[in-house]
Amino acid sequence: MKANRLLVFGTSSDAGKSSIVTAICKIMSKEYKTAPFKAQNMSLNSWVNPEGKEISYAQVIQAWAAGADPIPEMNPVVLKPKGDSFCQVVVMGEHYADRSAGNYYESIDKMTEILSRALSKLDEKFDVIIMEGAGGAAEINLYDRDIVNIGTARVTDAPIVIVGDIERGGVFASLYGTYTLLPDDVKKNIKGFIINKFRGDPCILKPGLKQLEELTGIPVLGVMPYFRLRIPSEDSMSFKEKSGSGSVPSEKVKRSTGLEIAVIQFPKISHFNDFEILENEALVRYVGIYDKIGAPDLIILPGSGTPLSDLAALKESGMSDQIKAAAGKIPIIGVGEGYQMLGKKLTGPDGKSVDGLDLLNCETVYTKEEGYSEKPERVSLKVKACSPMLSAVDGMELNGFTAHSGSTVTASPVFGTDGACGKDGKVIGTSMHGFFDNKPLRMALMKYLAEKKGIAYVEEEEFTIDDGFEELAQVFAAHVDVEAIYKIMGLK
């Protein structure tokens, strides 16, 4: 028996499809076994489930909101960019192939079969499936090979809601244009519009809403206000909102003198969600490679989809000199490929070596072409307190996952068999993603930074990710006709 389904399209990337799907998953999970689904996601933000299967972080967030365990069927195809028009293709949680854009589209029939099988598997386990499109749904140049929008619509024949982002301007034109350009066999299933990220009094939109409904015969189901989402960001478009201006400070950070953390924004930054949990503790600035680091309390080097290229960019821009000049004065932590760049040497698959930043005693060798990630795995690693930053958690088990490229060797690992620590304890590296999700370690680090700065540490608010889901669901229910969505899906 097929589950009841809803497909959420967007007028553009970052229209808010992911958060809308998350809200609906949370609401419907209270009455039905609910799962998210996205046929294909392009993202360097992935997550690894206990079986070692890799899926996009966006669908993980949605699954958690639905109270479901994230499984590959929820995101059967992940495209991990490795450079211009070239991706690593992950299928059902496993590395499948490396493809250029052209070669990938040649296998679109096979990908369509995979999405159909994934949906059938979800049908066996769930009552409701909330599906998400990608980018703008009306990409008329891709209709013959678009599995995530048009393909999903045709395979499922599901009712569709279109989300438009009013922050970008021209929301009525984008909603009407998307509706008008969709193929007739897809257009017939459009059942509603949602306007997202509105600031101000929604009454001023009423004439436009009325005209849009008259032009299309499709109801506007609601207008979502702009507000601070307190759930992890899901994709690179969400990350772009942070760039330059930094994170949106939490109420705690606003109230305190606070700490400042600088995350170096590599050209191909990956797993940026590693650091979002720190936004409740400090002002997190995402610093471009041509910008000034300033005087933060902590510098973080994140993961990278193309570590050798990003290291070269650090050197060309002068950012590497800034980082080395800060060493010894400002604590530095490298995660994933950021850890590798802090080492002495990085050797490519061609056997050619380049100097790292030489702040940690480790070396990395890549046996595959740049951008290739080793098979990800969940890990549990024990802390060896080589640093005053870690002394309060000495001997503690940390949980996370590795999804790095290359093999890194260090003489003195500090997290089980992983990681390295500088001689003065002020530079630390680890391959573990989810490092800062370990609350005792995070609190120990923040206390250390606060003491070093001479300010009082204010413990983080007791606010869980499920609190964030509930908050989002409540805002959605207050501004969108949820009853209409139930009816659209044939649910009571």
Token digits for 149?
């929008």
| Structure confidence at residue 254 as a pLDDT band (50, 70, 90) | very low
Over residues 177-216, the pLDDT tens digits come to 999 999 999 999 999 999 999 998 888 999 999 999 999 9
Distance CA 135, CA 207 (A): 28
Q: What is the mean pLDDT of residues 270-287?
A: 86
Q: Of the spans 173-187, 227-241, 367-381, which averages the highest pLDDT?
A: 173-187
pLDDT above 80 for 101: no
* pTM beyond cutoff 0.75: yes
Mean pLDDT of 404-418: 85
Lowest mean pLDDT, pick from 132-146, 280-294, 401-415? 401-415
How many percent of the chain have pLDDT more than 70?
A: 90
The pLDDT, as a whole number, for residue 460 is: 63
Write the pLDDT tens digit of every residue in 308-343.
999 999 999 999 999 999 999 999 999 999 999 999
Q: How confident is the model at residue 245 (pLDDT cuts 50, 70, 90)?
A: very low
| 374 pLDDT tier (thresholds 50, 70, 90) | low
CA distance 172 to 175: 5
Q: Does the structure show a pLDDT above 80 at 299? A: yes
Q: Pick from 64, 69, 71: which is nearest to 469 by CA?
A: 64
Look at 262 and 80; give whichever has higher pLDDT: 262
- DSSP H helices, 66-219, are 101-106, 108-125, 152-156, 171-181, 184-187, 206-216
Mean pLDDT, rounded, for 485-489: 96
Amino acid 250: pLDDT: 52
pLDDT of residue 168: 85
| The pLDDT of residue 94 | 85
Is the confidence at residue 462, as pLDDT, over 70?
Answer: no
Give which of 93, 88, 118 is closest to 103, Cα–Cα: 88
pLDDT tens, position by position, 33-56? 999 999 998 877 778 888 888 888
413, two tokens? 């690992």
CA-to-CA distance for 18 and 232, rounded, in angstroms? Answer: 11
Measured CA to CA, the distance from residue 139 to residue 133 in angstroms comes to 12
Whole-number average pLDDT of the chain:
88
Give the pLDDT of residue 103.
63
Q: Evaluate if residue 248 carries a pLDDT over 60.
A: no
- The CA-based angle 315-262-260, given to 5 degrees, is 155
Band of pLDDT at residue 271, cut at 50, 70 and 90:
confident
With a pLDDT cut of 90, the percent of the chain lying above it is 60
